[in-house]
Each structure stands twice: as structure tokens, then as C-alpha cells.
Amino acid sequence: MLSFTERAITIIKNIPTGKVMTYGQIARLAGSPRGARQVVRILHSMSAKHQLPWHRVINAKGEIGFRDNDSFITQKQFLEDEGIILKNDNTIDLKIYQFYPVDVDDTLL
């Protein structure tokens, strides 16, 4: 059985271009329903090493989570480059863009 971190990394790597997932959604699928902050930590510390598409992970409200302007602008630009349209300059419509993996189990992860 893979660790939470390994499962989360695999889930994040498999978010397709033009789709997003939330921190909490990834945590639940990786086996820790209350582990959204762990997902944040994984993204912060392991995105470069594992070449994670960090920009495709957003908060439960569909918003870009960064508060500093440079990171916000970078994530927004990456999402827009993939065809994601943001409402009110920072909100992604989860009904349109949220990714729901259909076969998340130990064979995939």
C-alpha cells in the first residue's frame, strides 16, 4: 500500500490539462479526508522534484489560494493558458473544470 504522500503525488500528476482538483478532494482520494493541509505541504515541498502540475490545484471555493501577487498571477496565467476561464478574476467554475478521477484505487495509485 502506498503512503498518503505517494498517493497524493500520483493523483496530482494525473490531473489533465484544462482541469482542476481541490486540496480536499485530493486528500480524500489519497486516504485522508481531513488532509487538505498535507496536500498544500506536498505541493510546496515536492512540486519541482516530481514535476507536479501545482497550478491545477485550487481551494474548495474554486479560488486560487495564493495571496501574494506574483504567485497568484503565475497560477492564473498557467490556468488561462490551458483554456480555463476564471470568473471575477480569481474563481474557477468547478461545475465545468473540476476533474473527477473514475478509477482511483490501489491499481492506479
CATH 1.20.950.20, domain 4-97, yes or no? no
Q: Is the pLDDT of residue 100 over 70?
A: yes
Q: How far apart are CA 27 and CA 12, in angstroms?
A: 10
Tens digits of per-residue pLDDT, 52-92? 999 999 999 999 988 888 999 999 999 999 999 999 888 99
Please check whether residue 50 is in contact with residue 9, taking contact to mean a CB–CB distance below 8 angstroms. Answer: yes
Per-domain boundaries in the chain: 4-97
Model confidence pLDDT, tens digit, residues 4-35: 999 999 999 999 999 999 999 999 999 999 99
**Global pTM value:** 0.90
> Does 51 have pLDDT greater than 80?
yes
pLDDT at residue number 104: 60
